Structure 1
């Protein structure tokens, strides 16, 4: 069973996929989106879901440090509804507090240039979101 992990930003969507056993998450790509214009890269997601026979989607839910839901969390809630309607798959909102910051620290420690970090940060955050979910299952 393959599980898709997503990290929604206002300009990009980080995408990760689990292995068939559901043990590890691997980054696939970062999709350019236009949140304000309603373009969430759904056609590309449809290709990925079909290619990997995805059965579940894990979407990062950016909560505030006090656990409340802010504007980015509301955007994730709205996107989850769009995903469920379009793909008829279960969408689980996963607490992603500090994942982008952790991904950035990991890339900095790996001596990845600032320009390259900007290109892969959302994909890395999607990996961390999905891996956190997978780890919780075992």
Structure 2
């Protein structure tokens, strides 16, 4: 395999192993910090927040956390609280993980559960069930 083909293989559309590993470390740490209430914001500490996934940029400078409040209530409020505390969360994560550069944190709603529920509803429809049984 020539060098050009090898580089194309590694620059594929998906995240690198390093991005996946760092993203998962950040996800676990962020979930732990939020669950224990390590942030100095009583409004944020009052909430139960699920951190479903963290995706990092190729240079690991930006980490996007996909979050959802327990029960799905108050989603916009949760995003505002997390944004308000992202500096402190960034410092805590950087300190706990010992990363050379602590990534900028961004927060988005995790819509995975909504998509799963929609797929489940579609599969329960009579016409879809009939097609699947054939």
Q: Taking structure 2 as the reference length, what is the TM-score of the superposition? A: 0.34
Structure number with the higher strand fraction is: 1
Q: Taking structure 1 as the reference length, what is the TM-score of the superposition? A: 0.33
Higher relative contact order (CA 8 A, sep 6+): 1
Q: Which has the larger radius of gyration?
A: 2
Structure number with the higher helix fraction is: 2
